[in-house]
Amino acid sequence: MSTEDLRIVWIYPDLLSTYGDRGNMLILAARARARGIPVETIEIRSDQALPDSADLYLLGGGEDGPQALAAQRLNADGGLHRAVARGSVVFAVCAGYQLLGTSFFAKGAAYPGLSLLDLQSDRGPARAVGELHGVIDPRLGLPPLSGFENHGGRTHLGPGVSPLAQVTTGIGNDGTSEGAWRGNLIGTYSHGPALSRNPALADLLLRWATGAGYLPPLDDTWTDRLRHERQVAVAP
Amino acid sequence: MPLRAKVASSVSRTAAALSRAAGRGDGSVIGGWIGLKIDPELLKHLAAGRSVALISGTNGKTTTTKLTVAALESAGRVATNAFGANMPTGHTSALAKAGATPYAVLEVDEHYLARVLDETRPRAVALLNLSRDQLDRAKEVAMMAQMWREALAHHPDVHVVANADDPMVTWAAYHCASVTWFSAGQRWHDDSWVCPECGGAIERAGGDWRCTTCPLRRPRPQWVVEEDGVVDPTGAWHQVKLSLPGTVNIGNAATALAVAAQFGVRPADAVLRLGSVTSVAGRYAQVERDGRLIRLLLAKNPASWLEAFDMAEAAPTLLSINARDPDGLDTSWLFDVDFAPLYGRRVLITGDRAYDLAVRLQVNGIPFEHVTSFADALAAVPPGRLEVIANYTAFQDIRAELDRVN
Ligand SMILES: [Zn+2]
């Protein structure tokens, strides 16, 4: 890490930005600053070179055309691959999550992904829209995932990744598992400001990105209330 | 008018009256629906012989329609459609109900512009802005611009009044034979960073914008908002005294004046009439209750939240958020809105999804108080002004509550 600040890069907001994707960057920055960690947030457009020296990279959601274009430009740029090789953290939602795999489906055809995670995505029988809840991989030590999904894809995990969660409400990858992770890379179908309902996940990303083994807790009263409300809303 | 159209028109009026009498709504849609069943060409027949203006865009169309009606009324009687009834059934009902008028000003849902252009053969169409709605995505904004562009290509005789500050609108109208450009400002930029022509990046500096890779750029506007007034194409400045708040509405007034000018109404005459518009479908309406002067502002998508912040005074502000079907079930858009303009005001929050808003405001660094009802909000603030900004069903809930006690 070349600078003192925690550097967070939002990749291609001009292509991959729907439904409040900016939220994840805002939440990570706010939670870091609340602990006295100086933060630099950087938005890199698709016509700019992607710096490979940042600590944390964010990928948002997007439609087919922009998604395919983003994959092409990221593969040509190579910055994200170099950053991952250096151990940088990546958090990707929805279309951004699909991008991390070996291939994804857009505009009726399969496109090569970034091959950073061992998974591939195709089209599902119907669009998955609604609350998405699940029990997160116990090795990550996080409370249940709570979010909202809106996607037409289905994702098939290879042996090189683990599911982020087991679905209790919603579809996620395939109705059973949701999202994927390996090393410092996490992808999820919980779209938009996914971290707004999952502050513990936000803090995990911050610990990975800063190397801090511990971060002092913050007052998450309102988030706890929101999580509880959504949990009650989806209870049978 | 052919006999079938006459029958359809008369049945449409009767059905609307019956619906009102039965207490089943204001009849602004059902009459048109029945009329179009009897004669699918009814709207075409009803529009024939009138000078028609269409007003479309994501935001501000109801207000701009009302202002345009006020401006045009100096020239003669104007038929217009009611709030919400901005699809062909609503247009049909409105024209059938109005009887013969020399003019019609119709608010058009942006998805229906092509069809309404075909059927009403307007003299002018005003294109206000295009941005994401709660239920839509950014890409649909580009698709909408494409639809507009194709629809306008079929009507080279229509005069277009278009917003030069919105790259999407500009691109849709760029090749039209007859265009008046206006500048009403654009607060929301997140749906127009990518050039709709070539996919290049749009660069902005001050109020200007241009594509970095192709010739698309902001056209020179003929009507411009300046201070609390509007500069017309001759360079004359007209002070605009509105009964509606915010510079956003001065922009809507500029559009209305530009449209009215196409019908021969001079801005100096039209501008005096705009102050007669006081409330638009309950929006901006002020209600007094227990010494609290309550003003209701509807914010239905990220762009209109920014406009509502512009209109609200620096007074205690209640924000109410629901996520029912008409609002969209997803609250993610809250993170598309920067609530920073509320900083320093006393902020109260309520609604079905107040907790989503609470989390958003916390990230934004805006202190707030949560109240569980509108009545509690009233009790919590001192006498004086209370600004209320709500999304669709939350707005309807608060309106209903104010009506009940009144
Ligand atoms: Zn261009």
Where are chain B's structural domains? 40-276, 286-401
- A9 versus B25: the higher-pLDDT residue is A9
This complex has an ipTM of: 0.96
* pLDDT number for residue A75: 97
Tell me the CATH number for domain B286-401. 3.90.190.20
- A39, A226, A228, A231: which to substitute to probe chain B, counting the most B Cβ within 10 Å? A226
* pLDDT number for residue B189: 79
pLDDT at B406 over 50: no
pLDDT at B23 over 60: no
* pLDDT number for residue B38: 81
Looking at every residue in chain B, the average pLDDT score rounds to 90
Give ion ligand 1 contacts, CB < 5 A.
B 195, 197-198, 200, 211, 214, 216
Q: CA-to-CA distance for A191 and A20, rounded, in angstroms?
A: 9
pLDDT at A144 over 90: yes
Q: How many residues does chain B have?
A: 406
3-class secondary-structure state, position B239: strand
What confidence category does residue B83 fall into, taking pLDDT thresholds of 50, 70 and 90? Answer: low
Looking at every residue in chain A, the average pLDDT score rounds to 95
Please indicate whether, in this complex, the C-beta atoms of A20 and B333 are within 8 angstroms of each other. Answer: yes
Task: Report residue B145 CA to chain centroid gap.
Answer: 17
Residue closest to A114 by CA, chosen among A139, A136, A133, A97 = A97
The DSSP string of B153-213 is HT-TTSEEEEETT-HHHHHHHTT-SSEEEEE---S--TT-SB-TTTS-BEEEETTEEEESS
Where does residue B260 rank: exposed (0-12), middle (13-18), buried (19+ CB within 10 A)?
buried
Can you tell me the mean pLDDT for A193-210? 98
Give bridge partners of residue A192 from the DSSP assignment: none
Give bridge partners of residue A118 from the DSSP assignment: none
pLDDT at B139 over 60: no
pLDDT at B137 over 60: no
Can you tell me the mean pLDDT for B79-105? 90
DSSP B82: P
DSSP B23: T
Q: CA-to-CA distance for B392 and B326, rounded, in angstroms?
A: 7
Number of cross-chain residue pairs from A and B with Cβ atoms under 8 Å apart: 81
| Annotated binding-site ranges of A for substrate | 127
What confidence category does residue A2 fall into, taking pLDDT thresholds of 50, 70 and 90? Answer: very low
Tell me: the pLDDT tens digits for B329-371?
Answer: 999 999 999 999 999 999 999 999 999 999 999 999 999 999 9
What confidence category does residue B138 fall into, taking pLDDT thresholds of 50, 70 and 90? Answer: very low
Q: Is B176 annotated as a binding residue?
A: no
* pLDDT number for residue A1: 41
* pLDDT number for residue A43: 96
Task: Give distance in angstroms: CA of B10 to centre of ligand 1.
Answer: 50
Q: For each of the domains in chain A, give its residue range(s) and CATH number, in order of start.
A: 6-234 (3.40.50.880)
Task: Count CA within 13 A, CB hemisphere, residue A222.
Answer: 17
Please indicate whether, in this complex, the C-beta atoms of B333 and A19 are within 8 angstroms of each other. Answer: yes
Among candidate residues B118, B208, B325, B330, the one labeled active-site is B330
With a CB cutoff of 8 Å and minimum separation 6, the contacts of B65 are B55, B80, B81, B105, B106, B107
A13 phi/psi in degrees, rounded to 5: -60, -20
Q: CA-to-CA distance for B94 and B314, rounded, in angstroms?
A: 38
Please indicate whether, in this complex, the C-beta atoms of B356 and A30 are within 8 angstroms of each other. Answer: no
| CB-based contact A134:A167 (threshold 8 Å) | yes
CB < 8 Å to A30, chain B: 362-363, 365
Q: CA-to-CA distance for A67 and A151, rounded, in angstroms?
A: 13
* pLDDT number for residue B171: 97
Task: Count CA within 13 A, CB hemisphere, residue B33.
Answer: 9
Q: CA-to-CA distance for B117 and B54, rounded, in angstroms?
A: 8
* pLDDT number for residue A77: 97
Q: CA-to-CA distance for A31 and B191, rounded, in angstroms?
A: 28
Please indicate whether, in this complex, the C-beta atoms of B139 and A130 are within 8 angstroms of each other. Answer: no
- A30 versus B287: the higher-pLDDT residue is A30
A109 phi/psi in degrees, rounded to 5: -140, 160
CB < 8 Å to B360, chain A: 23, 196
Task: Give distance in angstroms: CA of B202 to centre of ligand 1.
Answer: 7
Fold for the domain defined by B40-276: UDP-N-acetylmuramoyl-L-alanine:D-glutamate ligase (3.40.1190)
Residue B340 has a CB neighbour count (10 Å cut-off) of 11
DSSP B222: S
* pLDDT number for residue B367: 97
Q: CA-to-CA distance for B190 and B350, rounded, in angstroms?
A: 27
Can you tell me the mean pLDDT for B241-263? 94
Domains B40-276 and B286-401 share a fold: no
pLDDT at A142 over 90: yes
With a CB cutoff of 8 Å and minimum separation 6, the contacts of A155 are A97, A98, A101, A119, A120, A121, A173, A174, A180, A189
pLDDT at B21 over 90: no
Can you tell me the mean pLDDT for A78-84? 98
With a CB cutoff of 8 Å and minimum separation 6, the contacts of B298 are B283, B304, B308, B389, B390, B391, B392, B395
Q: Is B214 annotated as a binding residue?
A: yes
Residue B363 Cα, gap to closest chain A Cα (Å): 6
pLDDT at B143 over 90: no
Task: Say which residue the tokens 């100086």 belong to.
Answer: A38
Please indicate if any CB of chain B lies within 8 Å of the CB of A210.
no
Task: Give distance in angstroms: CA of B117 to centre of ligand 1.
Answer: 27
| CB-based contact A166:A144 (threshold 8 Å) | no
Q: CA-to-CA distance for A39 and B331, rounded, in angstroms?
A: 26
What confidence category does residue B20 fall into, taking pLDDT thresholds of 50, 70 and 90? Answer: low
What confidence category does residue B279 fall into, taking pLDDT thresholds of 50, 70 and 90? Answer: confident
pLDDT at B381 over 90: yes
Among candidate residues A81, A133, A151, A191, the one labeled active-site is A191
